């Protein structure tokens, strides 16, 4: 009997990507093949995002696009939709999207095989998400083997007023440190140079486990994995970033000097509206402490503009903070009014910031950051960097593309690499020694002068056929 082929679409954040990779692994383990295109699939899975308005629209558009491959005599006979959007709107989607055969929620990753076989109810969304994968769970990477995300916890207990994630993902659930370590070792044995730790709230890792285990101790444990070059941390919460964690980042050579910490705002009244649990003075002091304790750190953050209650003065306070702090990376989002959040109630009480004003503020904050970033890029000219080679550049057949320690996959800029005379052509996954020769707003140009660490991959990495928008 011919194996059934399944095609996956993964939308949203890296944490969602990990869920998709687990579903890929479970499907492969159950005997399905992975289709390289939707027209070649007997079943299609869309793992959705339901965090903010734009993500919801993108998810709906993608579902309808994939449904076309089931209609009009197409090969696909089953369409499964899973993830945060279905967790949030299960009943509405089941009513409004008759094209979909099966719905699963964000906590139903382990039910994917039953859904593909038509063995689960059409509305199979669990209302109390509790699933948490571990190192023995089958998983297929959709990124090249030299880099991987590892989800160390699921869910969140924070009361942030604008965020719907705790309702979609459930409460904090941390993986056992032994399980995380075994998964990291396995990924590194297959050629991973870079491990990216992710969670909804990374810095509260372990608080739900027995004993005194926390993120700092996990980081030190993982830093002992031979063969790994960069252990990168994403989504640190300001008030949970401890001195012990900063010491671990500073002390351990394999831990990337990189902290991804969404601060969201700096104005005291806005932080109160957002229910962040601290004031602007706390963030300012923390930024200073991080730079003092972790020399050379790359500090990335994100901000929300246009949240209910954001006055012109509050926005100017935020602009001043960005100028003063000179972050290495900044992302700016316009506020999305989400039903079921405290912020949505504030919008009704305080009035909403008009969309045009929100967008204007977003552009202004990014204009300020662009000038800061360009200045920082210019200051790197002449420096020698260790760069992870990711492959041929899209810009030129004579160049390669890569990233240095201060550039995370998928969200930061990169390094365009040329070869110095007599230097051997690098392989994908090599870590090379490169001298910076030029810069743009967010990217660098550099010349490869030699290889630091040859790749351990036996062949060039191939990306699984998964769309991630």
The answer to whether residues 256 and 199 belong to one domain is yes
Per-residue pLDDT band at 299 (split at 50, 70, 90): very high
Q: Is residue 139 part of a domain?
A: no
pLDDT of residue 55: 86
pLDDT of residue 54: 87
pLDDT of residue 461: 58
The answer to whether residues 87 and 26 belong to one domain is yes
E-strand stretches of 11-77:
33-34, 43-48
The answer to whether residues 192 and 318 belong to one domain is yes
What CATH number does the domain containing 394 carry? 2.40.50.140
- Average pLDDT for 62-68: 95
Cα separation, 251 vs 259, in Å, equals 14
The answer to whether residues 280 and 217 belong to one domain is yes
The answer to whether residues 191 and 236 belong to one domain is yes
In degrees and rounded to multiples of 5, residue 210 shows phi and psi of: -70, 150
Cα separation, 337 vs 347, in Å, equals 8
SS3 label, residue 246: helix
The answer to whether residues 188 and 98 belong to one domain is no
The answer to whether residues 352 and 403 belong to one domain is no
- The chain-wide mean pLDDT, for the chain, equals 93
In degrees and rounded to multiples of 5, residue 197 shows phi and psi of: -80, 130
The answer to whether residues 92 and 123 belong to one domain is yes
Q: Is residue 323 part of a domain?
A: yes
- Average pLDDT for 95-107: 95
The answer to whether residues 356 and 402 belong to one domain is no
pLDDT of residue 398: 65
Q: Phi-psi bin for 19: left (phi > 0), alpha (psi -120 to 50), beta?
A: alpha
The answer to whether residues 237 and 319 belong to one domain is yes
DSSP letters of 281-323? HHHHHHHHHHHHHSTT-EEEEEEEES-TT--HHHHHHHHHHHH
**Torsion sign over Cα 358, 359, 362, 368:** negative
Q: Which structural domain range is residue 403 located in?
A: 384-453
pLDDT of residue 3: 87
The answer to whether residues 375 and 393 belong to one domain is no
Q: Is residue 136 part of a domain?
A: no
Final residue before a domain boundary, out of 335, 351, 379: 379
pLDDT of residue 407: 97
| pLDDT(27) > 80 | yes
Q: Is residue 169 part of a domain?
A: yes
- Average pLDDT for 64-76: 88
Per-residue pLDDT band at 201 (split at 50, 70, 90): very high
Per-residue pLDDT reduced to its tens digit, 108-157: 999 999 999 999 999 999 998 999 999 999 999 999 999 999 999 999 99
End-to-end CA distance of the chain: 34
Q: Is residue 398 part of a domain?
A: yes
| pLDDT(463) > 70 | no
| pLDDT(52) > 90 | no
The answer to whether residues 406 and 441 belong to one domain is yes
Q: Is residue 220 part of a domain?
A: yes
Cα separation, 466 vs 434, in Å, equals 32
Q: Is residue 468 part of a domain?
A: no
Per-residue pLDDT band at 13 (split at 50, 70, 90): very high
Q: Is residue 302 part of a domain?
A: yes
372-380 own/partner pairs: CB under 8 Å, 24+ apart: 372/322, 372/323, 372/326, 372/327, 373/328, 373/329, 373/330, 373/441, 373/442, 374/439, 374/440, 374/441, 376/326, 376/328, 377/439, 377/440, 377/441, 377/442, 377/443, 377/444, 378/439, 380/436, 380/439, 380/444
The domain total for the chain is 3
Question: What pairs with residue 150 in β-bridges?
Answer: 197
Looking at the chain, the whole-number percentage of residues with pLDDT higher than 90 is 86
Final residue before a domain boundary, out of 379, 395, 417: 379
Final residue before a domain boundary, out of 339, 354, 379: 379
- Average pLDDT for 425-452: 95
What CATH number does the domain containing 221 carry? 3.80.30.20
Per-residue pLDDT band at 457 (split at 50, 70, 90): confident
| pLDDT(34) > 60 | yes
| pLDDT(465) > 80 | no
Per-residue pLDDT reduced to its tens digit, 387-401: 999 999 887 776 899
């Amino acid at each position: 009997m011919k194996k059934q082929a399944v095609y996956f679409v993964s939308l949203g954040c890296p944490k969602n990507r990990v869920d998709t990779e687990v579903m890929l692994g479970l499907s492969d383990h159950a005997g399905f093949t992975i289709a390289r295109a939707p027209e070649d699939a007997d079943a299609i899975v869309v793992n959705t995002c339901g965090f903010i308005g734009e993500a919801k629209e993108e998810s709906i558009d993608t579902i309808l696009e994939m449904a076309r491959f089931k209609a009009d005599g197409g090969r696909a006979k089953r369409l499964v939709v899973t993830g945060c959007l279905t967790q949030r709107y299960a009943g509405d989607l089941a009513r409004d999207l008759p094209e979909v055969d099966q719905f699963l929620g964000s906590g139903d990753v382990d039910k994917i095989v039953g859904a593909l076989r038509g063995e689960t109810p059409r509305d199979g969304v669990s209302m109390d998400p509790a699933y948490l994968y571990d190192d023995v769970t089958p998983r297929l990477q959709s990124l090249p083997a030299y880099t991987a995300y590892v989800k160390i916890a699921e869910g969140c207990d924070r009361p942030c007023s604008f965020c719907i994630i705790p309702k979609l993902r459930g409460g904090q659930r941390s993986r056992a440190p032994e399980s995380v370590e075994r998964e990291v070792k396995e990924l590194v044995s297959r050629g991973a140079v870079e491990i990216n730790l992710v969670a909804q709230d990374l810095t509260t890792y372990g608080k739900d486990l027995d004993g005194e285990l926390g993120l700092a101790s996990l980081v030190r444990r993982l830093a002992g994995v031979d063969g790994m070059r960069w252990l990168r941390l994403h989504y640190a919460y300001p008030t949970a970033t401890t001195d012990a964690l900063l010491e671990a980042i500073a002390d351990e050579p394999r831990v990337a000097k990189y902290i991804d910490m969404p601060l969201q705002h700096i104005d005291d009244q806005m932080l109160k509206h957002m229910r962040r649990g601290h004031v602007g003075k706390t963030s300012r002091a923390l930024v200073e402490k991080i730079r003092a304790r972790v020399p050379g750190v790359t500090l990335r953050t994100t901000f929300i503009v246009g949240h209910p209650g954001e006055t012109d003065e509050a926005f100017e306070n935020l602009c001043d903070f960005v100028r003063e702090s000179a972050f290495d990376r900044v992302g700016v989002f316009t506020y999305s009014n989400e039903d079921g959040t405290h912020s949505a109630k504030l919008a009704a009480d305080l009035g909403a910031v008009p969309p045009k004003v929100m967008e204007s503020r977003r552009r202004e904050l990014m204009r300020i950051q662009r000038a800061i970033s360009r200045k920082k890029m210019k200051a790197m000219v002449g420096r020698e960097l260790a760069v992870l080679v990711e492959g041929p550049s899209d810009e030129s057949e004579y160049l390669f593309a890569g990233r240095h320690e201060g550039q995370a996959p998928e969200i930061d800029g990169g390094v365009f690499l040329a070869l110095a005379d007599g230097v051997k052509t690098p392989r994908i996954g090599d870590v090379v020694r490169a001298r910076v020769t030029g810069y743009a707003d967010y990217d660098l140009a550099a010349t490869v002068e030699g290889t630091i660490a040859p790749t351990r991959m036996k062949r060039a990495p191939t990306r699984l056929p998964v769309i991630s928008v």
